Amino acid sequence: MSKRNRKSVWRRALTPQSGPPGPPRQRAEPPAREPEPASVVRAVLYRDGVRVSSPATLADTYRELREQSCGMAWIGLARPTESELLSLAAEFDLHPLAVEDAMEAHQRPKLERYGETLFVVLRAARYLDAVEEVDFGELHVFVGPDFVITVRHGAAPDLSAVRRRMEETPELLKRGPEAVLYAILDAVVDGYAPVVEGVQNDIDEIETEVFRGDPEVSRRIYELSREMVEFQRATRPLVGMLHGLMAGFAKYGTDEDLQTYLRDVADHVTHTSERVDGFRQALTEILTVNATLVTQQQNAEMRALAEAGFEQNEEIKKISSWAAILFAPTLVGTIYGMNFDHMPELHWVFGYPFAIALMGVVCTSLYVVFKRRDWL
């Protein structure tokens, strides 16, 4: 196979070069166990890159793996029970701290090595178009000399496609468990791309809603910002993890093609992490712009209310002024209309003209006063 074709196949199957098969590991016979519940998604045994069998129980998996001269077990679990993890820990000598992390979940992405076993925690993500949200899942991977155990918490990621892709290239799958690990890494990282595109579309829609004055946009910005915080927690540690793996190339004799592939995955993760950082910055700026627009709108409404209040106050002034002017002659007429016998000026010849003149003088004086004060 030419070097170009070999690398092309490698990028599809993502498998490293393994050393010559060693003698089968001796394990103590475990006690008989009941068939496990549906948390065991699939347990498959491979030999020379070809599926040999799919045991129905973990006990059968242990037994058949011991009988294989040079085989590999790939066990996939979804939200396993404590008894299942303890069974796997006893059979494959898994470190108690790693098992505890796999039980509790809610771990940050990390890479730890316990003797011959590599323990990896990954945070997968998927974009839900129906509700326009990002759903996060957690994946724990145990990689040993002849086994791969995946413990999935959440709907993502779906490893069935990874298994099918590896089984379609048996000449590469036979290279060992480390190949499966890097294939899983690639699947998780590739799963970030649709999420990035979905979030970009959401941000574009949010920008339109902000300038359209949608009152619900602030809530959407806040929710998307929280999702971006979770996305950062998934991608940032993964960058350091991959660089840690690359730093161990010489120590663990990593295949040259695998090194090239791993650098490519690291580049993708770095690019995704930078995009997520950009999303957070963009959402912060959009939130600031939205707050400014909301403030401007509130100021405009307050100004409109103030103007309306001022106009209303001017009308009240006019009404009050005319009411005062009209009240003056009414007051004079009321007093002189009481008709008491001993009221002064009742029998005065000029009493009526005097009353009319008095009303005119008072009304005119009030009109002049109100006019000078711009009430009329």
Distant-in-sequence, close-in-space partners of 116: CB < 8 Å, separation ≥ 6 = 144, 145
Alpha-carbon distance values, 230 to 83, 233, 235, 241 (Å):
30, 5, 9, 17
- Alpha-carbon distance 295 to 137, whole Å? 39
| pLDDT of amino acid 252 | 62
> Which of 6-10, 39-43, 44-48, 257-261 is predicted least confidently?
6-10
Comparing C-alpha atoms, which of 42, 178, 29 is closest to residue 90? 29
Strand order in the sheet with 50-53: 50-53, 40-47, 71-78, 147-153, 133-143, 117-128, 110-114
- Alpha-carbon distance 193 to 188, whole Å? 10
Which pLDDT tens digit goes with each residue over 178-224?
888 888 998 999 999 999 999 999 999 988 888 887 778 888 888 99
Comparing C-alpha atoms, which of 95, 90, 58, 87 is closest to residue 73? 58
Which pLDDT tens digit goes with each residue over 14-58?
433 334 444 444 444 444 444 444 567 788 999 888 898 888 888
Beta bridge partners of 143: 118, 148
Which pLDDT tens digit goes with each residue over 123-133?
999 999 888 88
| Percentage above 70 pLDDT, the chain | 85
| pLDDT of amino acid 254 | 63
Looking at the predicted structure, is the pLDDT value of residue 110 above 80?
Answer: yes
Residue 89 near residue 75 (C-beta atoms within 8 A): no
- Alpha-carbon distance 146 to 62, whole Å? 11
Looking at the predicted structure, is the pLDDT value of residue 3 above 60?
Answer: no
* 373 half-sphere exposure, CB direction, 13 A CA radius: 12
| pLDDT of amino acid 294 | 78
Average pLDDT over residues 259-266: 80
pTM value? 0.69
Gyration radius (Cα) of the chain, Å: 41
